[in-house]
């Protein structure tokens, strides 16, 4: 039996929403943010980022840290929401 994909939990859903909010507030396209994340050493395509934002792909700790760095916020902000800044 193939392994069942892990569902995105509440913290992942919050991070997904926050990533999209902060990205759009900064005027970045998904491709631009994915390029920034890649520049921080975590290869990411705009498709991967899109799936994270739509909560169709889990955002692991390494993704979370790289995305936060690219958005110039703490990873905690992504987990707690944009009002945590």
2-51 pLDDT, tens digit per residue, is 666 678 889 999 999 999 999 999 999 999 999 999 999 999 999 999 99
Mean of pLDDT values over 51-64: 94
pLDDT for position 32: 98
Q: Which residues contact 57 (CB under 8 A, 6 or more apart)?
A: 8, 48, 51
pLDDT bracket for residue 55 (50, 70, 90): very high
Kindly tell me if the per-residue pLDDT of 84 is higher than 60.
no
Q: Which residues contact 46 (CB under 8 A, 6 or more apart)?
A: 29, 30, 31, 33, 34
Please give the model's pTM, rounded to 2 decimal places.
Answer: 0.89
């Amino acid at each position: 039996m193939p392994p069942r994909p892990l569902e995105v939990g509440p913290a992942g859903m919050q991070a997904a929403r926050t990533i999209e909010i902060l990205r759009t507030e900064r005027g970045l396209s998904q491709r631009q943010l994915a390029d920034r994340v890649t520049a921080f050493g975590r290869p990411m395509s705009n498709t991967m980022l899109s799936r994270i934002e739509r909560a169709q792909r889990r955002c692991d700790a390494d993704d979370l840290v790289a995305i936060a760095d690219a958005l110039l916020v703490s990873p905690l902000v992504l987990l707690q929401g944009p009002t945590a800044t």
